[in-house]
């Protein structure tokens, strides 16, 4: 309501000026300019007119010099609540301008000199006005400003910004539309509304009765109202878009960053607008503002898998929802969500919520999706994107057949897919009795049930142009299953090209013997020896060509010329290093189908598994770096259960693994026994001396270089400690050479072997160290125990194997490396691991020399471990590592974690 200006003492008015209570009215940049002008510019007070000490009109000059200046005018008064109010005008901006010249004049008034001048003018009555001097026809009414009415206008604006064209150096103007909020304010009895972020401190107008109405805006209250909007997430548009070509247009507006526009405004309309209206805001929404929220109903979803024109093995994925009769693809949106950090873990923590997704242009609306539905899609796409599928200009993802079929198995989505994908999907759900193929008529062996399943699985891969890994435990007949598969291909008339078998040198003749025995109808060519070059021209006349990994590299040029029906890698871990020459040559071979055979698809880390599938189906697991970041690091370092499950499910159709426990009815029982041996004093002292020295060396290396760069030093330390446990004579240092006995060797020769031999057992003794086998060999000679030995240096492998199998000797000494493949020692019933090895799979493979099909007696596996040494810790870590390997292949959730703390644990006292 209008009210007359109250009277206040002049001293109180000036005290408000001196305390600089007016400074908040000006912008910071304006005040900074004014403070500089006070010191250096021409500043002069022209007149000071006061009315009852409560109203002051001040005029002055402010400029570079007395010939070049602007003329600011100030009107100062007390409000009803006692606050100082001010309006200004200036020749630089016109009326009501809060410019730097007005601020300079206020700074001048606030100084001691300014106070003296004003008091002098007031005392002398110069320029002093009284109420009687006011023209009788003019009456001034001060309008109350304590009740500002906030207004918020939501609308869209089109702005331009300068962008650099990709691949060019030219600049161009890009126009785009954004949502903005314009905060305004209205005061009672004032006909105008004001932009809260605009210029101006008040308004002056003539009322119907002819009186002059003056409003001084309550800028402090207005700034509090703007602060409320900023707490709600809005920011001045000029701060967020400084490069915009419409900076003056943006001056009074507020908005949010462009990437989150749709989601923010949708939530703002749903949550903030009702709250603002409840607090007294007049929120006005333009009909073109947009950002409506659409609910994703279950019956509105669609998923299309379409055959690509380029070929039947490539499919385009489009997934989305129908909104108001129009299809909207969500693949680009979901991919962007993943790129922005949305993960299945976040969704799992908010399963009862709905998530907002911004719809693609030209729409400005958003889609509300239940977290449970989004979780199903995101899990698949998150894992799918790790293999970096091609993305078309239409936003669709281009998938291989297996990925497309696996998507077709997602629950809860209506999926339209070609018939061939539906057929593959049904086969992926699992084998039934009706899906088993009949063994080939010419097979000279009876397949066990699991071998029959293996043959059917191999035929399934061939039928759908897939490639895989047969990863059965050692001794379960991977060779027989493969030969049955090849014979099936020949009898069906599909083997119009030869098949290539690549195997370790030690087993290539075994392949030829097994083929002659079980599949005599297959024509076999063995490429081996110096005479093999004469057989090159005969390759096309044979069904089966067998060569070794070393010869593969030498004969690469010739083998690449042939187009093979199937390429089979036996003991496929030979290409576990994708950078090796053998792996590169294998990848370059041309074939319809590819197959890996191995009992240990992972010997040390998941990168070896990636290498196998890079040979089988390049791109299936993405590139090496993507696989490392998405799977290997989370699984091996972080023990990520979800990632391990994803990888297991991803590879399940392509990797068939059966353990002996799964087919136990076809195998005799196997028993493992751990023997803990206590070192004597002299050997303990030597061990501790070396342990302390190695511990200090490793700690220094890790501290200076980190774990990764200290590998050689760590392995050297671990090697020395293992050698001390086996026998001091393995170490080439003077202190060790003085000790001629070993507690473990004494236990083997004096306690174990005599008892085992008396009971008639036939024994395999494995060691990682060939020198250790030589020491045992010497002890066997002293004890007059017959034996044979097989190491990497053994040229004639057949003779010692034959002598042992025939029962001529009871003991077979074998190095772990030489005995890892190609041995079938079913006459043995006892296995002794003299020293433990890091890789449990390598140990198990060695043990399986005896525990394999054909064995009719129980097999006992003995492990000799020195108490309180590194060997005990190796056994503990083996359990963890075995969990990783078996977890990957069978879908279990145990994991491997190897850290610098683990290394220190191995070296502790």
Please write the tens of the pLDDT for every residue from 725-779.
999 999 888 888 888 889 999 989 987 898 788 778 889 999 989 999 999 999 9
The CA distance from 394 to 400, in Å, is 18
In this model, does residue 157 exceed pLDDT 80? yes
- How much of the chain exceeds pLDDT 70, in percent? 81
pLDDT confidence bin for 610, thresholds 50/70/90: very high
The predicted model gives 419-443 an average pLDDT of: 76
pLDDT of the residue at 559? 93
pLDDT of the residue at 47? 76
For residues 127 and 270, the model is more confident at 270
pLDDT confidence bin for 1, thresholds 50/70/90: very low
The predicted model gives 448-471 an average pLDDT of: 91
Pairing of strands 354-358, 366-370: antiparallel
Q: Which residues contact 136 (CB under 8 A, 6 or more apart)?
A: none
Name residue, tokens 């630089």: 92
DSSP string, 126-189: TT---GGGS-TT--EEEPP-S--EEEEEEEEEEEEEEEEPTT---EEEEEEEEEEEEEEEE-TT
Pairing of strands 563-570, 499-503: parallel
Q: Residue 787: which H helix or E strand, with range?
A: strand 787-790
For residues 248 and 337, the model is more confident at 337
Q: Residue 198: which H helix or E strand, with range?
A: none
Axis crossing angle, helix 606-616 with helix 641-651, rounded to the nearest 10: 30
pLDDT confidence bin for 91, thresholds 50/70/90: confident
- Which CATH number does 673-907 carry? 3.40.50.300
- Comparing CA positions, the residue from 519, 509, 449 lying closest to residue 480 is 519
For residues 799 and 12, the model is more confident at 799
pLDDT of the residue at 10? 56
pLDDT by residue (tens digit) across 194-243? 888 876 667 777 777 778 888 888 888 888 999 999 999 999 888 887 66
- 284: β partners: 153
Kindly tell me the number of DSSP H helices and DSSP E strands found in the chain: 34, 37
State both tokens at 522.
């297959």
pLDDT of the residue at 95? 45
The CA distance from 191 to 712, in Å, is 84
Q: What phi, psi does 188 have (nearest 5°)?
A: -55, 135
pLDDT of the residue at 482? 97
The CA distance from 773 to 804, in Å, is 17
The least confident of 119-123, 770-774, 867-871 is: 119-123
Q: Which residues contact 368 (CB under 8 A, 6 or more apart)?
A: 293, 294, 295, 296, 354, 355, 356, 357
Q: Are 395 and 331 in contact (CB under 8 A)?
A: yes
The CA distance from 713 to 694, in Å, is 9
The pTM assigned to this predicted structure is: 0.57
The CA distance from 457 to 32, in Å, is 81
The CA distance from 241 to 174, in Å, is 13
Asked if the domains at 433-663 and 673-907 fall in one CATH topology, the answer is yes
Name residue, tokens 């161009």: 172
Phi-psi region of 321 (alpha: psi -120 to 50; beta: other; left: phi over 0): beta
- Comparing CA positions, the residue from 685, 779, 769, 777 lying closest to residue 735 is 685
The CA distance from 187 to 177, in Å, is 32
pLDDT confidence bin for 595, thresholds 50/70/90: very high
pLDDT of the residue at 564? 96
DSSP state of 849: T
In this model, does residue 164 exceed pLDDT 70? no
- Comparing CA positions, the residue from 640, 608, 637 lying closest to residue 624 is 608
- How much of the chain exceeds pLDDT 90, in percent? 25
The least confident of 180-184, 648-652, 664-668, 903-907 is: 664-668
pLDDT by residue (tens digit) across 31-47? 888 888 887 788 887 77
State both tokens at 684.
């303990």
Q: What phi, psi does 568 have (nearest 5°)?
A: -115, 125
Q: Are 198 and 226 in contact (CB under 8 A)?
A: no
* Burial class of residue 345 in the structure, from the number of CB atoms within 10 Å of its CB (0-12 exposed, 13-18 middle, 19+ buried): exposed
State both tokens at 639.
């023990």
Q: Residue 285: which H helix or E strand, with range?
A: strand 282-285
Neighbours of 387 (CB within 10 A): 18
The CA distance from 25 to 87, in Å, is 10
Distances in Å between the alpha carbon of 631 and those of 382, 390, 657, 818?
A: 12, 20, 20, 32
Name residue, tokens 């548009």: 237
pLDDT of the residue at 134? 39
Q: What phi, psi does 677 have (nearest 5°)?
A: -115, 135
State both tokens at 55.
């109203």
Q: Which residues contact 557 (CB under 8 A, 6 or more apart)?
A: none
State both tokens at 761.
């057992």
DSSP string, 721-762: HHHHHH-GGGS-SHHHHT----HHHHHIIIIIHHHHHHTT--
What's the whole-number average pLDDT of the chain? 80
pLDDT of the residue at 596? 96
pLDDT of the residue at 174? 62
Distance of CA 426 to the CA centre of its chain: 31
Q: With b meaning 16 or more CB within 10 Å and e meaning fewer, what string describes 124-143?
A: eeeeeeeeeeeeeeeebbbb
In this model, does residue 537 exceed pLDDT 80? yes
Neighbours of 209 (CB within 10 A): 8
pLDDT of the residue at 130? 37
The predicted model gives 71-100 an average pLDDT of: 73
- Comparing CA positions, the residue from 112, 93, 79, 84 lying closest to residue 23 is 84
In this model, does residue 466 exceed pLDDT 80? yes
pLDDT confidence bin for 409, thresholds 50/70/90: low
Q: What does the domain layout of the chain look like in residue ranges? A: 10-134, 149-285, 294-428, 433-663, 673-907
Q: Are 19 and 38 in contact (CB under 8 A)?
A: no
Name residue, tokens 């041309």: 590
pLDDT confidence bin for 3, thresholds 50/70/90: very low
Q: Are 303 and 415 in contact (CB under 8 A)?
A: yes
3-state per-residue secondary structure call for 200-258: CCEEEEECCCCCEEEEECCHHHHHHHHHHHHHCCCEEHHHHCCCECCHHHHCCCEECCH
The predicted model gives 828-851 an average pLDDT of: 80
The CA distance from 175 to 107, in Å, is 44
Range of 544-558, 631-645, 846-860 with top mean pLDDT: 544-558
The CA distance from 254 to 196, in Å, is 11
Neighbours of 309 (CB within 10 A): 7
Pairing of strands 326-329, 314-323: antiparallel
- Comparing CA positions, the residue from 289, 292, 272, 303 lying closest to residue 367 is 292
The predicted model gives 650-678 an average pLDDT of: 78
Q: Indicate the SS3 state at residue 859.
A: strand
pLDDT of the residue at 129? 39
In this model, does residue 663 exceed pLDDT 50? yes
- Which CATH number does 433-663 carry? 3.40.50.10810
In this model, does residue 151 exceed pLDDT 90? yes
State both tokens at 243.
């490069």
pLDDT confidence bin for 166, thresholds 50/70/90: very low
pLDDT confidence bin for 476, thresholds 50/70/90: confident
């Amino acid at each position: 309501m209008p009210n007359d200006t109250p009277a206040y003492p002049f001293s109180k008015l000036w005290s408000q000026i001196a305390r600089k209570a007016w400074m908040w009215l000006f912008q910071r940049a304006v005040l900074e300019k004014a403070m500089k002008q006070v010191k250096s510019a021409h500043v002069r007070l022209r007149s000071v007119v006061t009315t009852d000490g409560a109203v002051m009109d001040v005029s002055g000059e402010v400029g570079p010099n007395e010939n070049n200046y602007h003329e600011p005018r100030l009107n100062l008064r007390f409000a009803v609540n006692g606050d100082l109010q001010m309006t200004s005008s200036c020749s630089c901006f016109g009326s009501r301008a809060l410019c730097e010249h007005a601020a300079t004049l206020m700074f001048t008034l606030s100084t001691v000199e300014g106070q003296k001048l004003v008091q002098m003018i007031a005392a002398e009555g110069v320029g002093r006005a009284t109420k009687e001097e006011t023209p009788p026809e003019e009456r001034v009414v001060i309008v109350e400003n304590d009740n500002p009415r906030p207004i918020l206008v939501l609308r869209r604006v089109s702005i331009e910004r300068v962008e650099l064209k990709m691949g060019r150096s030219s600049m161009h103007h890009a126009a785009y539309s954004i949502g903005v909020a314009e905060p305004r304010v209205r005061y009672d009895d004032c006909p105008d509304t004001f932009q809260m972020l605009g210029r101006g401190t008040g308004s002056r107008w003539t009322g119907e009765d002819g009186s002059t109405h003056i409003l001084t805006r309550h800028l402090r209250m207005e700034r509090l109202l703007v602060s409320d909007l900023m707490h709600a997430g809005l920011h001045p548009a000029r701060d967020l878009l400084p490069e915009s070509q419409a900076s003056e247009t943006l001056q009074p507006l507020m908005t949010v960053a462009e990437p989150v526009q749709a989601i923010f405004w949708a939530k703002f309309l749903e949550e903030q607008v009702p709250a603002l209206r409840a607090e007294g805001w007049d929120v006005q929404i333009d009909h073109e503002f947009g950002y409506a929220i659409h609910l994703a109903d279950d019956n509105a979803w669609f998923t299309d898998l379409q055959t690509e024109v380029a070929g039947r093995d490539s499919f385009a994925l489009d997934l989305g929802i129908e909104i108001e009769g129009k299809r909207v693809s969500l693949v680009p949106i979901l991919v962007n969500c993943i790129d922005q950090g949305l993960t299945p873990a976040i969704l799992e923590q908010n399963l009862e919520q709905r998530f907002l997704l911004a719809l693609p242009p030209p729409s400005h609306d958003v889609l509300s999706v239940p977290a449970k539905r989004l979780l199903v899609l995101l899990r698949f796409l998150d894992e799918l994107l790790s293999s970096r599928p091609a993305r078309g200009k239409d936003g669709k993802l281009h998938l291989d057949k297996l990925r497309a079929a696996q998507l077709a198995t997602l629950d809860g989505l209506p999926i339209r897919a070609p018939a061939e994908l539906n057929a593959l999907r049904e086969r992926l759900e699992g084998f039934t009795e009706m899906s088993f193929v009949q063994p080939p008529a010419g097979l000279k062996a009876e397949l066990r049930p699991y071998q029959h399943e293996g043959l059917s699985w191999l035929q399934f891969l061939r039928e759908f142009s897939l490639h895989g890994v047969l990863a059965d435990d050692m001794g379960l007949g991977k060779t027989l299953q493969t030969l049955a598969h090849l014979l099936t291909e020949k009898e069906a008339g599909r083997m119009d090209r030869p098949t290539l078998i690549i195997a370790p040198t030690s087993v290539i003749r075994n392949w030829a013997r097994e083929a002659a025995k079980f599949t005599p109808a297959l024509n076999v060519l063995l490429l081996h020896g110096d005479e093999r070059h004469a057989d090159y021209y005969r390759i096309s006349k044979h069904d089966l060509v067998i060569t070794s990994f070393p010869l593969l590299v030498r004969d690469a040029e010739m083998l690449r010329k042939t187009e093979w029906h199937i390429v089979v890698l036996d003991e496929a871990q030979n290409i576990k290093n994708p950078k090796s020459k053998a792996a590169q040559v294998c990848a370059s071979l041309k074939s319809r189908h590819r197959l890996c055979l191995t009992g240990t698809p992972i010997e040390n880390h998941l990168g070896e598994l990636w290498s196998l599938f890079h040979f089988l189906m390049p791109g299936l697991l993405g590139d090496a770096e993507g696989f490392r970041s998405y799977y290997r690091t989370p699984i091996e370092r972080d023990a990520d259960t979800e990632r391990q499950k994803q990888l297991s499910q991803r590879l399940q159709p392509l990797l068939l693994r059966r353990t002996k426990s799964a087919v136990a009815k076809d195998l005799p029982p196997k028993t493992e026994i751990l023997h803990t041996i206590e070192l004597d004093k002299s050997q303990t002292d030597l061990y501790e001396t070396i342990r302390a020295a190695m511990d200090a060396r490793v700690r220094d290396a890790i501290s200076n270089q980190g774990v990764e760069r200290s590998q050689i030093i760590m392995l050297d330390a671990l090697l020395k400690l293992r050698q001390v446990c086996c026998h001091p004579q393995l170490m080439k240092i003077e202190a060790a050479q003085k000790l001629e006995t070993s507690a473990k060797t004494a236990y083997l020769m004096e306690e174990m072997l005599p008892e085992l031999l008396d009971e008639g057992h036939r024994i395999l003794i494995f060691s990682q160290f060939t020198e250790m086998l030589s020491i045992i060999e010497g002890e066997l000679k002293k004890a007059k125990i017959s034996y044979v030995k097989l190491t990497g240096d053994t040229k004639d492998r057949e003779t010692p194997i034959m002598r042992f199998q025939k029962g001529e000797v009871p003991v077979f000494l074998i190095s772990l490396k030489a005995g890892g493949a190609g041995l079938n020692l079913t006459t043995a019933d006892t296995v002794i691991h003299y020293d433990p090895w890091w890789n449990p799979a390598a140990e198990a493979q060695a043990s399986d020399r005896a525990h394999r099909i054909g064995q009719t007696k129980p097999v006992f596996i003995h492990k000799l471990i020195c108490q309180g040494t590194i060997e005990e810790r190796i056994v503990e870590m083996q359990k963890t590592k075995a969990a990783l390997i078996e977890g990957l292949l069978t879908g279990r959730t145990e994991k491997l974690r190897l850290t610098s703390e683990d290394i220190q644990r191995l070296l502790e006292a």
